[in-house]
Amino acid sequence: MLKTTEVRTTVYHVVTGLMRESNPEAPEPTGGEELNTLGLDSLTLARLIIELEAATGVDPFSEDVVLSDVRCLDDLVDVYERALAARGA
């Protein structure tokens, strides 16, 4: 399981990989981008959540968090960091 300090790197890496599947020249994300501007359709967003759960060992959306409340990439990082912290990572 990842430590909270590694979550940002993991989230950015997974997002960049998914973005580059459809656009090989997609820029590196900076964190403030809204998820809907990253070119991730609903299927890719589902893949993102599955890959992040596999990488982090937590599913923050099985508890109190609603995916539609996550607006930007940094919000997504925060959700996973909080889920890991709650687990005692």
pLDDT digits (tens, 9 = 90+) for 9-39: 999 999 999 999 988 998 989 889 888 888 8
Range of the domain at 41: 4-87
Q: Compute the C-alpha angle 24/42/71, nearest 5°.
A: 90
Per-residue confidence (pLDDT) for residue 39, from 0 to 100: 82
User: Rounded to an integer, what distance in angstroms lies between the CA atom of residue 60 and that of residue 53?
Assistant: 8
CATH number of the domain residue 32 falls in: 1.10.1200.10
Question: What is this structure's pTM?
Answer: 0.88
What total number of domains does the chain contain? 1
User: Rounded to an integer, what distance in angstroms lies between the CA atom of residue 16 and that of residue 42?
Assistant: 16
